[in-house]
Amino acid sequence: MAQLINITSEALQATIRRLLPSQQGFGEDLQASNVITPIIDLTPTAEGSEVRQDLQTAIAFGSSTAFDITNATTTLANSPGFWEFQIGWTVRQSSSTINEIGLRLSDGLATKDVWQVETINPGSGSADVFTAGTYRTVIFLRAGDAVVGFATTNSNIAGSYRQIADVSGNLVDPAGFTPQ
């Protein structure tokens, strides 16, 4: 036999008022039932975003930007939103210099290192050593922010990046992809 139970939770009621503004004047308590009601969520299909997350972030010819930085500093992405970076890097460890590569965030006034690889000077007489690796990350940019890639002498950072969501979190599909 079905039972209805009144729920008095200000947190739940506040969420309903926030998500359903037309219901703000509704004065009844929330109710729960012991009857199982199946729910089918069609939201992703209705939004056109039924693509798996890993497929949605795919590299595509028309929406990926390649970069290759050696002994330079270069602004990469500078539009608001979520950006995915796929990076390969090499850093030379030598007896004469300390070399580094990485990514920085800039707001136009200041910069912050968000990822960096730095060699340690092994001392004179040591042989040069190359270190290499890969790195993948997602970075959020506000209006006015930029991602800056940098590499010192004998170091290299290369890869690609693309916007995977706008500043509001709406997914950006790979160029040329149209969900059915």
Chain segment 44-87, per-residue pLDDT in tens: 666 555 667 777 788 888 889 999 999 999 999 999 999 999 99
Distance CA 75, CA 106 (A): 9
Specify the CATH number for 53-165; select among 3.40.50.720, 3.40.50.2300, 2.60.40.180, 2.60.120.1010. Answer: 2.60.120.1010
| pLDDT score at 33 | 76
Mean confidence (pLDDT) of the chain: 83
Higher pLDDT, residue 10 or 91: 91
| pLDDT score at 79 | 95
Domains of the chain by residue range: 4-41, 53-165
pTM for this one? 0.69
| pLDDT score at 102 | 94
For 97-120, write each residue's pLDDT tens digit: 778 999 999 999 999 999 998 887
Strand, coil or helix: what is 122? Answer: coil
Q: Is the dihedral of CA 60, 56, 84, 172 positive or negative?
A: positive
